[in-house]
Amino acid sequence: MTDSGHFRTETFETLFDKYKDRMYDFALKMVGDADTAGDITQEVFIRLYKSNSNHTAISNVKNWLFILTRNLCLNRIRDSRRQVSLDAVPETEIQVDCSADSRHIILQKAMYALAPDLREALILKEYQGFSYIEIGGILGITVPAVRSLLYRARVALKEIYEKYSIKG
């Protein structure tokens, strides 16, 4: 049994226990809102459950879950951007705490300020621990493209992080 899993050999309950926290964490870090992340995670697992009921074979459950979660997150981000343009968000909404965990808070805010494609690449690498090949499989891009994307993501994150740190 590989870590990727197979829906014909693992029950829904097993897969749910295995991936629930990872999927929720991924969704939350993508959209930055607990309610939205909860909705997305719920939809993902219900679709997984239905695919089992319909006898749909899923060869790589882990990839399937991350791809679906990613797509749902991008849809939500796109929809929210239609309603409120990022330019319209006032600077005062970015509250920087200078306590012991302030670096983590600044980092989180900097992550949410990144473009979604850069953010998802960083989350998959830094928080989910995927290899370049695995990230390429989820995002549908080549390994050199993943490497370039992560480089651009880090450069952008560094700039935003430094900007917020100075403000704090």
20 or 163: whose CB is closer to other proteins? 20
Q: Provide the minimum distance between the beta carbon of 36 and other proteins in the complex, in angstroms, as a whole number.
A: 12
What's the CA gap between 165 and 168, in Å, rounded?
Answer: 5
Beta strand extents in 8-163 (DSSP E only)? none
Compute the least distance from the CB of residue 52 to other proteins, in Å: 8
- Backbone φ, ψ for residue 17 (5° rounding): -60, -35
Which residues sit at the interface with other proteins, rule CB under 8 A?
8, 11-13, 16, 20-25, 28-29, 34, 38, 41-42, 45-46, 49, 55, 103-104, 107-108, 122, 125-127, 131-132, 147-148, 150-151, 154-155, 157-158, 161
Q: What is the DSSP letter of 127?
A: I
In the complex, minimum distance from the CB of residue 128 to other proteins, in angstroms, rounded to a whole number: 9
The closest of 168, 44, 56, 160 to 108, measured between CA atoms, is: 160
Nearest approach in angstroms of CB 85 to other proteins is 27
